[in-house]
Each structure stands twice: as structure tokens, then as C-alpha cells.
Structure 1
Amino acid sequence: MNISQEDIEKVLYDLFIKYKFTNEKAKLMASVFTESTLDGVSSHGINRVPLFIEHIEKGVIKINAEAEKIASFGSIERWDGNQGPGIVNATKCTNRAVELAKKHGMGMVALRNTNHWMRGGTYGKQAANANCVSILFTNTKPNMPPWGGKESRIGNNPFVVSIPREKGNVVLDMAMSQFSFGKINDYRLREEKLPYPGGWDENDNLSNDPKKILSKERALPVGYWKGSALSMVLDMLATLLSGGNSTSKISSKDIETEISQVYICVYPEVFNDQGLQQKLIDEIIDFTHDVEPMKKNDKIYYPGERSAQARAKNLKDGIFINESIWNKILLLSK
């Protein structure tokens, strides 16, 4: 199905109002879910809405709760998410990290006891639009085996880096798994195989079958042992800096919640050489663009470029939505 941005946003806004969110929060969440879908990331946009509602109904997400500051150390702050909606908490903490960066040159907010932020790139883009460089990451429930292990003991811990750029922001948004679980589920909904192995099946063999990977939730770390190690380090940092839960503690819960996140922002204008900064970024992008692709008619992209192209196409043609997902949302809205 192809649906307009306006129609998606309206249906989601009405849905969140039905579940007793304030007008402001309903508008924010409807916008974030829609924007992610518009950028071609349905896996962390519209496809996540039914699960989000399920977590509300189970009391995992506290509708009226939101993040609050619990400690301040100059340009560094600790916040508690109070199990509020991840989108609301992440937006608030990103804004605060930007404020701290513009005051001190660099700012950091470490957040604990929050919920899934959906698409991490949303907040990288938010920081870049405020003319800040950002480094953001979160831990998760265990959904990857540490390299060489059979059981999932580490998370695929999404990692985001954004850089403001006049010709289009650079936004890296990646999980520590070869494919995020949202993306794996996206392939499952389309009844397609992954283009590369994405995890292990029940017989401990690497597989590109999304159903087999999802049955055990044993994703393949990006870079094999390197991704495994990086996942562990990000979990350590998020836990240490926020004073919150580690992936180990999150594993004791039936549903992924009360996770830990870090928001770091740098205000590049403190260097007073904006022209040079833009020139250097373009130099790097031009150098990597100007290479012969291995596949004919292929193209090299910088992080965030594909999303910008997907947005332009979807604004023109309408946004493709999985019909079963859309029908679930319409049913929830009634």
C-alpha cells in the first residue's frame, strides 16, 4: 500500500490520543514514527507501532512519565527516564545535550530507565539540525551471542554519529548486528531472504532466513569478533555513565525496558572555522564518491544519503506500507 505522509501522521496522532497521551506527545511521536517511515526505515517506524502499543497496554511504557535530571556535573548530566516513552525521552535528552554543548562546547546526557528510542538516527538528525556533532548509543536486551558463544548474552546496541553539513547532514545509524532486528523482521514481512547471513538458526548454522534467525534471536555481530567486542564496550559505557541497567540486568525482564543510553554533542562553531569544516567534509565525501563501483551502475553513498533519496521518492510517490501492519494500526485506532 502507498499512503501519504499526512494520512499516516493523522492516524498515528489519533491512535496516541486514544491511548491518553497529551496533544504535544502524541504529535511528537506521530511525527517521529512517520518521519522514519518516510526516510525508508519502516522497520523502526510504522512497523514498530503495534509493538509500542502492546508495551503500553502491558504497563512497560508509562504514558505520563518522562525523563528528568537527577545529577549535574557541569557539562555532564545524569537523567532518569522513569520508563517513559523512548521517543519523548530521547528527544528531550538530545535537546539538553545540544544546550550543554552550546554552553560548554561539549555536552553529555546519560539516561537510564528509558524505553526503546525507535530509530536512533532521528536524534542524530535532530542534533545535526541544531548544528551539533553527535555521538549517541544505547544498550538493549541480549540478542547476539558473544563471539564464539551459543547463547545471546550481548545486545546489538545501536550507535549513531551525526555531522551537520550544508549539502545534507551526515548521519550514521547502525546496530552492532549485521542487520537490526527491525530490518530482519522487515524482510520477514516481505517474505524475502536477507542478502547476506544475519544470524544463527536452531542448528547453530549461519543463515539468511529471517524466520530462523528470529526464532532464536541470535544475530550475527557486525565484523564478527570486532562487533562483539564493540557491543560489550558500548554496554559498559552506557551502564557506567548513566548508573543504569546493563544488558545483563535487562535480560532478567520479560520485555526490553529500563535500558541505558548516552547522548554526546559537540558544538563545532567554537572553532570559528565553519567554512573550513564544510570544505573538509565535502573533500572526504567527494573522494569516496569518486571511485569506480564493483557492480555496474552502482553508486557509493555517504551515511544518510540513501535516506535522503528515499525521502524524496516517498514524498513524490507516497510511502509504501505493509498492508498487514497498516490494518493492525487501523484496528487499534478504532
Structure 2
Amino acid sequence: MRISSENIQKVLYELFVKYKFTTEKAQLIANVFTESTLDGVSSHGINRVPLFIEYIEKGVIKIDAEAEKVASFGNIERWDGNLGPGIVNATKCTKRAVELAKQHGMGMVALRNTNHWMRGGTYGKQAANDNCISILFTNTKPNMPPWGGKDSRIGNNPFVVSIPRKKGPIVLDMAISQFAFGKINDYKLRGQKLPYHGGWDDNNELSNDPDKILLKERGLPIGYWKGSALSIVLDMLATILSAGNSTYKIGSKEIETAISQIYICIYPEVFNDKGLQQKLIEEIIDFTHDVEPIIPGDNIYYPGERSSQTRAKNLKEGVLVNENIWEKIMALSKK
């Protein structure tokens, strides 16, 4: 079913107000969920709303709590999320990292004890719209085996890089697993197989069946052993810089919460050559686009390009929403 983004925004805003968020926070959270869905990332947008509400009802997400600074070292700060909503905390910490970058050229906020930020690219785009480059990442519960292992010990630790651009920002937003688990669940909801192997089944065989992968959450690292190693070092960095929980500690909890995140922003305008920077970005994009595709008629994209095209289509035609998910949201609104 297709629904206008305005309707999604309105329904979600009213839902979050009903759950006692302030009007300002309800507007922010509804906007982030809607924008992600509008960009075609329902797996980290509207599909997550029922689980978000469930975590509020269980007291995992503290509605009135938000991140606060606990230590400062020049352009580097530590913050504690106090188990507040991940979207609110991530927005606040990205804003602070941008402020530090514009003051010092580069800024970093290390955040502990926060909740899922939903779509990490949201904050990369936020930084890029404030004319900053960003490097952002988070750890998660264990949902991938370290390379060669049977059981999950490492997280798919989403990683984001964004670059401001006059024609629209470059935003790389990826999990360190071949498919984010929200995306795997999205395929499950649609009754489809993954286009490539995404994890292991009960027989320790690689599979593209969402049900088999989700059974024990054993995702496949990108680049096999290389992705496994990258996951480990991202977890180490997020944990030691924030003095927060590692994937090991997060995995000891019944529900994924109190995770650790890093927000690094760079202000490229300190070099006073913005025109040259934009020219170099377009040079790279043009060179990348100008390649013969393996499959005739296919297009080659830079990070974030397809999302902007999906967004334009959804604004015109309405957003494609899973009917079962929408029914759950409407039921929560009437609860």
C-alpha cells in the first residue's frame, strides 16, 4: 500500500505525543522515521516503529532522558545518553560534533548508554547539511560470528561517512554485515529471498533465506574475514572512547540497549578552497559514472544517489508501506 509522507508524519507524530513525548521530540522522531521511509529505507524507518513503542512500554527507552556531556578534552567530548531515545541523542551529539568541528576544524563526541539511532545516514546527512564531513559508527549486540566461528560474538556495527556537496550530499551508510538485520527482516516481511548470501543457517551453511538467518542472527560480515576484523576494531573504538559498553556487554542484556557510538565531524571550509573541493568531488563522480555497466542498461551510483531517486519517486507516488506494519501502528494509535 502507498501512503503520503505527510500522512505518515502526522500519524507518527500523534502516536509519539500519545506516548508522552514532548511536542518537539515527537516532531523530531516522527520526522526521522518518515524521512528514512521516504528514502526507501523502511527497514530502519516505519518498520521499526512497533518495536520502538515496545521498548518504550518495557522501560528500555527512557522518554524524558537525553544525552549530556560528562567529560571534555578540547575538541573531544564524552557524553552519556542516559538510555534516552536514540534518535534524540544522535541528533544532539551530531549537532555538538558539528559545533566542535566549526570551532576547532575537527570535533568528536563519544556517546555511551544510548539506544538504537535507527538509520545512521540521517545524522550523516545532518552533518553534511551543516557543511561538515562526518564519520559515525555504533556498536550493537552480537549478531555475526567472528570469521571462522560458529556463534555470534561481534556486531554488524553500522558505519557512516558523509561529505557535503552542492548538488546533494554524499552519504555512505552501511552495516558491517552484508545485509543490515532490519533489511533482512524487510525481505522476510515481503516474503522474498535475499539477492545474495546474508548469513548462516542451522547447518552452518551460507544462506539467502531470511527466516533461516534470523533464527539465530548469524550474519555474514562484509568482505568475510576483513569485515570481521573491521567490526572488532569499531567496537573497540566505540567502547574505549566512550567508556561505554562493548558488544560483549550489550549481548549480556535481554534487549539491545546501552550501546556506544562515535560522532566525528570535520569542517572542510577551514582550507578556504570550497570551490576546488566541489570540483574534485564532481570529478570523482563523473569518472565513476562513466563506465560501461556489466549488464546493459544498468546505472552506476555514488553512495546515497539511489536513495535520492527513491525519495523523488515516493514524494510523487506516495510511500510504499507494508500493510501489516501500518495496521500495527494504527492499532497502537487507538490503544
TM-score scaled by length of structure 1: 1.00
Name the % identity.
Answer: 81
Partner of 1:164: 164
Q: Tell me, which stretches of 5 or more residues in structure 1 are unaligned?
A: none
| 1:295 has 2:291 as partner | no
TM-score scaled by length of structure 2: 0.99
Measure, in 1, the Cα distance between the counterparts of 2:154 and 2:296. Answer: 38
Residues 251-272 of structure 1: per-residue CA shift (max 9 Å, x gap): 1100000000000000010000
| 1:152 alignment partner AA | S
Measure, in 1, the Cα distance between the counterparts of 2:115 and 2:104. Answer: 28
| 1:132 alignment partner AA | C
Q: Tell me, which stretches of 5 or more residues in structure 2 are unaligned?
A: none
Partner of 1:77: 77
| 1:202 alignment partner AA | D
Residues 101-124 of structure 1: per-residue CA shift (max 9 Å, x gap): 000000000000000000000000
Deviation at 1:168, TM superposition (A): 1.5
Residues 52-100 of structure 1: per-residue CA shift (max 9 Å, x gap): 0000011100000000000000000000000000000000000000000
Measure, in 1, the Cα distance between the counterparts of 2:251 and 2:308. Answer: 36
Measure, in 2, the Cα distance between the counterparts of 1:283 and 1:169. Answer: 15
Runs of 4+ in 1 over 4 A off after TM superposition: none
Partner of 1:204: 204
Measure, in 1, the Cα distance between the counterparts of 2:203 and 2:52. Answer: 31
Measure, in 1, the Cα distance between the counterparts of 2:317 and 2:173. Answer: 25
| 2:58 alignment partner AA | K
- Cα RMSD over matched residues? 0.4
Is the partner of 2:263 in helix, strand or coil? strand
Deviation at 1:167, TM superposition (A): 1.2
Deviation at 1:320, TM superposition (A): 0.3
Residues 195-249 of structure 1: per-residue CA shift (max 9 Å, x gap): 0000000111100000100011000000000000000000000001000000000
Measure, in 2, the Cα distance between the counterparts of 1:266 and 1:31. Answer: 26
Measure, in 2, the Cα distance between the counterparts of 1:245 and 1:286. Answer: 42
Measure, in 2, the Cα distance between the counterparts of 1:51 and 1:70. Answer: 29
Residues 113-165 of structure 1: per-residue CA shift (max 9 Å, x gap): 00000000000000000000000000000000000000000000000000000
Aligned residue runs from structure 1 range 1-334, under 5 A: 1-334=1-334
Measure, in 2, the Cα distance between the counterparts of 1:186 and 1:251. Answer: 23
Measure, in 1, the Cα distance between the counterparts of 2:307 and 2:271. Answer: 29
Measure, in 2, the Cα distance between the counterparts of 1:50 and 1:90. Answer: 20
Measure, in 2, the Cα distance between the counterparts of 1:102 and 1:240. Answer: 25
Measure, in 1, the Cα distance between the counterparts of 2:68 and 2:168. Answer: 32
Measure, in 2, the Cα distance between the counterparts of 1:49 and 1:296. Answer: 39
Is the partner of 2:191 in helix, strand or coil? coil
Deviation at 1:296, TM superposition (A): 1.2
Is the partner of 1:71 in helix, strand or coil? strand
Is the partner of 1:303 in helix, strand or coil? coil
Measure, in 2, the Cα distance between the counterparts of 1:166 and 1:295. Answer: 30
| 2:145 alignment partner AA | P
Measure, in 2, the Cα distance between the counterparts of 1:252 and 1:159. Answer: 23
Is the partner of 1:54 in helix, strand or coil? helix
Measure, in 1, the Cα distance between the counterparts of 2:265 and 2:200. Answer: 36
Residue-pair matches, total: 334
Measure, in 1, the Cα distance between the counterparts of 2:266 and 2:43. Answer: 29
Measure, in 1, the Cα distance between the counterparts of 2:220 and 2:120. Answer: 20
Measure, in 2, the Cα distance between the counterparts of 1:252 and 1:320. Answer: 36
Measure, in 2, the Cα distance between the counterparts of 1:251 and 1:196. Answer: 27
